[in-house]
Structure formats: structure tokens, C-alpha cells
Structure 1
Amino acid sequence: MAEEEPCMFWIWAMASTIFRLFLIFFFPENINASSRPELSTPLTSLRRLAEGYWLKQSSLSPYAGSMYHGSPLLLSILGPLTIQRIEGKSSHHLCRYPPLWRYCCSCAPVESFHNTFLCWLINFSDRKFGCHCVSFWSITRRVPLAAFGLVMATHLSLYSATLAIPLIFLLGYGLDAPPVKKFLQTRHVGVETTGSTSDVSKQDKLTQTTQLFLWRTVLYFVFWVLVWSSYVLVLCSLSLKQYGGLEEMFKRTYGFILRIEDLSPNIGVFWYFFAEVFDFSRNYLLIVFNLYILLTGIPPLAFRLKHRPCFLAFAYLAFSSILKSYPSVGDAALYLSLWALFVNELTDMEHSFFIFCGYIGFSLLSPVMHNIWIWRGTGNANFYFGNAMGYACFQYMFVEKSVNAMLNHDQALKKATSEMTKN
């Protein structure tokens, strides 16, 4: 099995490369996936990045005109690719289909982090880069690199900061495992039946070792997070020294995310809601929606799934993909690539075929509704918003059923272990 896994990884890597090259060189020019609202957002649009790079080259603030809202560091890394040309085509053609690339990678049936690690090798213009770094380097317990991935993911997208919680659990407790408390209870029953002094001493040692939390590793991780954060902030400050500094960056990036200033259509649900809401209640509703993620999603899941930090990271990514300001199908590809790690535990997931059909159906209907509304003029915004609502509902159902299936799996392990102890 260990020998087959690298082979399957390279097979899917070659297949994804061929698929991407086919899309780039054989599709007509008028089919540009980077302009689709399902694939491109105001935070990840290459066109907006090209606009910001042009403004900076013209000695203006890259955030002038409210076009670019990404990291100033990306302007130095990806900005030159938007103006250079390769054989008569601009280099941004090489990045025309990043979400489709991530979908192809996430569909690879490889139960490891190789498929997620492969995704960021090509596209690192948004939070996917940092999330894949976090997942790969935290599993290998490379604490400085895992801290770097978390800092970059948070820098590129504010919602990735929630990954700090599962990452601390992962470094403190280790990889996903059934709840220690359940096995301690069942083994304690076995000790009481035997009544042996040696068994009791072994049980005490087991309790002490299994409940150990690696505080030194976590503090080491926090230290590196502070180091990388300071380094990134210094670089951003130097990059924007003449254009307002860090205050301007925070206002144009994180403030843009939290205030939901851009109401262009996307596959989320906030754009339509805040386009219709009254101005005097906008600030109140912004606070409610932003706090909803913090209060109702993060604490309960962290308390219930702290023994499974990898699955907790999947739940956080999926939950934030539903309620974030500017979602795209690339966010779904990100958490679906992590979902493949828990195929064995989620074999008894309910309504899986229904949810799969809903995903496919609403994904196919999205461009149809957008065409009916924008280009044909035979529909209105309710068509596209209704499709976005259905897509969000199926995502929520997918997360809810996945969490229930994981909790039921832990209960089944507890029952099986207790029966073995009695026998």
C-alpha cells in the first residue's frame, strides 16, 4: 500500500497537468474561466491583481479605485506575470483555470495529504496555499513551517485564522483518534472486574500518558507564529510605505472582507442580502453575521471534536466556505480534498447520494442562471440567488451529516470496545 500511494499521486499529477494544458491551449479565448463569478472573487481575481500592479507601477496606491484588495506581497510575486507575454499570450493564461485544477486534484482518491499538497504547487494566490502548507507541514510536525502556512493563510484570507484551533490540538494531542475518555472508561471497567494491583497501576500510567498535552510544542508553534507574523507585517509595511502603510492594508483587505463592500454576484448569499437591506441596519447585521461564525461554529465544534483535529479543520473550512463574504468553488475543492481523508470513518454517512446530486445539480445550474439573468435578460437576480441558496443549503447538509457520521463512528467504537472488554 505504501508503494502504491506515491504511484497514484504521480498518476493524478500527470492527469491534472494534461487537463490544465488542454483547457489553456484548446479552449477558445472567449471562454475565460477566470471571469466566471463561480470561480473568481474580488479577492482572487487576476484582473484586479493586474489593476493593482499597474497602479503601483504608476506610483499610485495599489488600493486606489477600490479594485485590488489582496496582499501587497502578491503584487511583487504575481504582478509581473500579468504584463509579460509568452508566444503572443499573456502569462496570466497559465492561471486561467486554478479552481478547475483544484477540483481535479481534490477528486484524486488518495487518502493522504499529497493531493492537497499538489494543489498549492500551481496556485498560491489565495488562502489555499497557506491551508495546504498547514495541513502538510503540521502532519509531519514541522512546527516552523506549519506556523508559516497559518500566517500566510490568514494573511491572504481572514477566515483561515480559525485553523489555529485544530492546529493547536494537532500539535498538542497528535493525529485524529477516538476519544481517549471512552477507552479509559471501558478499560477502567475491565480493571474493576479483575481487581489486580498491577492492572490498576497500569491503568494509572495509561491515564497519565494518554491525557498528556504537549504544551512545549504548542508554545514553540506560537513563538514561530509571532515571528512569521512580524516578518510579513514588516514586508507589507515596506511595500506600502508611500501609500498609507499597514493601516491602509488592513482597511482595504480585512476591512473589505468584514464590511462586504463589493456586492457583485457570487455563489454566496451575502451579496444579495446586503444589496436589499436598509443602510441604517447594515452595521448591526454585519456584526451579527460575523459573530455568528465565531460564536456558533468555532466553540461547539472545538469542544466536541478536539480529539480529531484534522476533521475539525475540515469542518472549519467547510463552515467558513458557506458563510464567508466572497466564496468560490475553489473553497469547496479545498475542504473536499480534506474530506477524502475520512472516507473509512464516514462510510455510514446518511443521504450521501442525495447530497452528491445536489452538489452537481447546483454547480451546473449556476452558470445557466447567471446567463439567463445577465446576458439573456429573461430572468432576474432571484434566479441566481435562489441557486446560491440551494448550493449553501447542500453544503450545510454535507457538513452536518459528516459531523454526525464521525460522532456515530466514535460511538460505535465505544460500543465495540465495551463489548470486547466484557467478553
Structure 2
Amino acid sequence: MDFHYTFSALVAARALLAFAPLPDALKYSQQLSSPLTSYARLKEGVYLFSHGIDPYSGGLFRHSPLLLSAFTTLLPLKDPISKLLWTACDAAAAWSLVKIWRLRQRVGKSSRDGLIAALYLLNPYLFLPSLALSTSSLENTALLVAVAFACERRSSASILLLAILTHLSFSSIIYILPIFLLLTSSPVSNLASPRPFALDFKGLRKAVLPLVGEYFAYTTVLTAASTLVCGGSRAWVEKTWGSFFLLPDLTPNPGLWWYFFTEMFDHFRPFFLMVFSLHLLIYVLPITIKFQHDLLYATFLMAGVSATFKPYPTLSDPGLFLSLWSLFPETYSYLRHPIVTALIHLHGSLLLPLFNHLWLATGTGNANFFYASTLVFGIANGAGLIDAIWAGLATAIPVKDGDWDVGQE
């Protein structure tokens, strides 16, 4: 079947799901929306802003002023329009994923195009947050479109989207280095033939410095625009970007941060906030250096780091990581424990809603129940990330008779 028919059918199915009646448990699920991506909080912020009240004066609204201004002036925040917008964003993300695959394979089209689009549009980790209208779906779309532009060497469009993405979700700064280097290299697979980066330090500096300058120019303009939207107040900085460092809202989520800091003594809190924040950043340089021969793969691994360690994750974060895995079929035969990792993921994804229900709905459990399920889910995400790193390295190291041989060029 032609890909365009397949893609149209997938988008139509996704649109039907969007307009199907949803239970409130799904709309307000803590696994699908975080305090930074909640649609209900976004609606409240837009309502306050449209009535002349600063939404950042309280402690609930933590979305970017870019979303605040967009949904106040350009798009009315009404459910039918929002459902269409989120569906369109999912379609754009799936199309971008297919585009990245084609550029990596250097083909105009392939037999896997429909499968790759389906793995995004039918991934429950992705379409369930989108049905709940979590803004994490918009962030995933911005990232995938930015990566697609980077693979096409359209630097200005890619950097602009990357600047917008970091405004929406500050933890996305971990993608800056691999995407900047991807703009100066090729998305074609080089996992089987690792080699040093094509440019020396002087050439790399000449190639990357203009990109860095352009990124900071876009970021400065977006920051100034956000400040103007808020009437000249900079309170939005602490409420949005500051949330990733200060963790002010301890609403439960599928991540590893919230319960740890719920139990933390106040005088230890600043130290461990620094430790957790730096832990998210320390992977950027080692992964980028190790996979300098395939920076698209490095970007994929950073999605796995984000899904495992970011402060306010939703299911869409591991969903993006799993969907990106469809771009790298050459690594599948080198995965060490794919069945075990998949089963732990399945186990964790079933425990999350079950233990959340036992805790908050029936009252037969407590916070330890839900945090235990988030630990299992975190182990699953970590196991997937380790498996992906191992497979990416082992692709260049053939195995013969159970022994490791020297990698071949």
C-alpha cells in the first residue's frame, strides 16, 4: 500500500481517538501530564491572563509565556481546536520521524515508512498523553522537526525550533550539543565504522560558533518577547525554567525525583537538587564524544537520558525514546537483553496506573506503592538506555565464537 494512504489512515485513526469521549482519570492522569505540561493548568493560566491577572503570581502555572501568548492571541484554547492541534502536531512529528529515516537511509521512500509512522502514532506512551492534551506532545514535535531540519542541514530552522523547545522545556538543553554537531555532519549510519569527527578543532570551532551565536540570538529574542508578554516582569523565569532546578511542585509523576525530595530534610535539599540537576547534564559530553561518528544516534541516546532522569517526566518521554529506536534497525541484533527490558517496561507500565489507583482512588495503598512502580519504570528506562548504548558500541565489534574481536572499519 502506498505510504501516503497508510499515513492518512493513521492520522484519521488518531483524530478519531482524539474526539472519542475520555474518562476523567485519563484527562488528569499524573502519568500523562506533569505540573509543567498539564492542559488544565494551561487553561487556568490563559483564563487568568485574559482577565488581566498575572498567572505567575501563584504557584500553579508553570508553562512558558510562549504558550500563554499563542493560546491567548492566535489560537483559542477550546477543546475541539486543541484536539485538532494536538492531532496535527502528532502527525507532523510522525512525518518528521519518517523524514529522518529516509535521510539516514539516503532514499526517497522505503517499505518501512508506514511502520515508522505507525510506531509513533500508535505508541500508547505517545498518543495517551496527547489525548490528555499534555504539552509534552508539542515538545516532542518541536524536537523531531528540529532534528529533521538538522539532518537536511537547514540550520536556521533547526536552531530556531531548538530555541523554542528549550523555552518550553528547559531540560531540553541536553540536545543542543549533539544537534549542533549533527548540523555539521551527516545523519547516515556510521555505527559499523566509527571514526573521529570529520572536522578538527579549528574547523569545528568555525562551523559551530556561528550556530551557537544564532541560537543565543533566537533565545534572547524569545526571552525578551516572553518578558514583554508578562508586562515586563521576569517572574516567569523562576516559575518555568526555575522549576527544573528548584523542583517546587512535588506532584507525583513517573520520574525519580518527586518522592526523594518529598522525604528530604530541608537543609539537605539544595545540595541534592544540585546533584540531581548535574546528573542529567553529565551524560551529554561523554555520549557525544563516544558517538561522534553518528550524532543522530547520540541524539537518540540523549532522549533516553531525558526519559530516565528529567525532573518532571510523563509517559511521552520514554515513548519518544522507544519510537526513535525504529530509526536504528542495525542495532537490533546486538541488544543484550531485549526481552527482559521489554518485560520490565511492560511490568512498570501496568504497575503505574494500578498503584496510583490503589493510593489515590481506593485508599488501600500509600505513596510508597506508587513510588515503587516509578522505580520499576525507571529501571526499565535505564535498562533500555544501557541496552541502546551497548548495541551502538557493539555494532562495530563483530562477535566470533563467543569472543570479542577487534572492530572492523
TM-score higher than 0.5: yes
Matches within 5 A, 1:327-406: 327-406=313-392
Instruction: Give, in angstroms, the shift of residue 316 of structure 1.
Output: 1.0
Q: 1:39 to 1:103 in 2, by over 3 A?
A: farther
Asked if structure 1 preserves the Cα contact closer than 8 Å seen for 2:34 and 2:312, the reply is yes
Partners of 2:193 and 2:396 within 8 A in 1: no
Instruction: State the match for 1:67 in structure 2.
Output: 60
Letter in 1 for 2:336: E
- Match of residue 56 from structure 1: 49
How far apart are residue 172 of structure 1 and its match? 2.7
Residue of structure 2 equivalent to 1:279: 266
SS of residue paired to 2:254? coil
In the alignment, which residue of structure 1 is the partner of 2:242?
255
Identify the residue that residue 216 of structure 2 maps to in structure 1: 226
Q: Which residue of 2 aligns with 1:301?
A: 287
* Equivalent residues of 1:349, 1:405 under 8 A apart: yes
Q: How many angstroms apart in 1 are the aligned matches of 2:68 and 2:397? A: 50
Secondary structure at the counterpart of residue 39 of structure 1: coil
Of Structure 1 and Structure 2, the greater helix share is in 1
Measured in 2, the distance between the counterparts of 1:106 and 1:349 equals 26
Q: Which 10-residue stretch deviates more, 167-176 or 258-267?
A: 167-176
Letter in 2 for 1:235: A
Please say if 1:311 is aligned against 2:311.
Answer: no
Alignment of 1:103-182 (within 5 A): 111-112=101-102, 125-126=135-136, 127-178=139-190
**Aligned residue number for residue 13 of structure 2:** 18
Secondary structure at 1:406's aligned position in 2? helix
* Residues paired across the two proteins, number: 381
1:162-181 superposed Cα distances (whole Å, 9 cap, x missing partner):
11111122123333553799
Cα displacement string for residues 253-277 of structure 1 (whole angstroms, at most 9, x for unaligned residues): 1111211111111111211111111
Q: TM-score, normalised by structure 1?
A: 0.79
How far did 1:364 drift? 2.0
Q: Supply the AA of the counterpart residue of 2:184.
A: G
Distance 1:412 1:324, change over 3 A: same
Residues in 1 aligned to 2:341 and 2:358: alpha-carbon distance in whole angstroms: 25
Q: Does the 8 Å contact 1:12/1:108 carry over to 2?
A: no
Bigger shift: residues 338-347 or 322-331: 338-347
| Cα distance in 2 between the residues matched to 1:55 and 1:69 | 13
Letter in 2 for 1:171: L
1:343-399 Cα deviation digits (max 9, x unpaired)? 123322111122112212211221111111101011111111101000000110111
Cα distance change, pair 364–180 in 1 and its aligned pair in 2 (3 A): closer
Gaps of 5+ in 2: 104-112, 400-404
Q: Structure 1 pair 152/107, CA: closer, same or farther in 2 (3 Å)?
A: closer
**Contact 1:263/1:275 (CA < 8 Å) preserved in 2?**
yes
Rounded to whole Å, the distance in 1 between the matches of 2:24 and 2:176 is 38
Matches within 5 A, 1:77-92: 77-79=70-72, 91-92=81-82
Question: What CA distance in whole angstroms lies between the structure 1 residues aligned with 2:290 and 2:407?
Answer: 21
**Residues 152, 129 of structure 1: alpha-carbon distance in 2 compared, 3 angstrom cutoff:** farther
1:254-313 Cα distance to aligned partner (Å, 9 max, x none): 111211111111111211111111111111111111112223x12221221111111111
In structure 2, distance between residues paired with 1:208 and 1:109:
24
For 1:334 and 1:116, the matched residues in 2 are separated by 12
Matches within 5 A, 1:194-213: 213=203
| Matching residue within 324, 338, 351 for 2:310 | 324
> How far apart, in 1, do the equivalents of 2:194 and 2:98 lie?
34
Cα drift, residue 17 of structure 1:
2.9
Which structure has the larger Rg? 1
Deviations 1:300-330 (A, max 9, x none): 2122111111111111111122111110011
Normalised to the residue count of structure 2, the TM-score between the two structures is: 0.81
Could you tell me how far apart the structure 1 residues matched to 2:273 and 2:141 are?
Answer: 28
Q: Distance in 1 between matches of 2:237 and 2:292?
A: 31
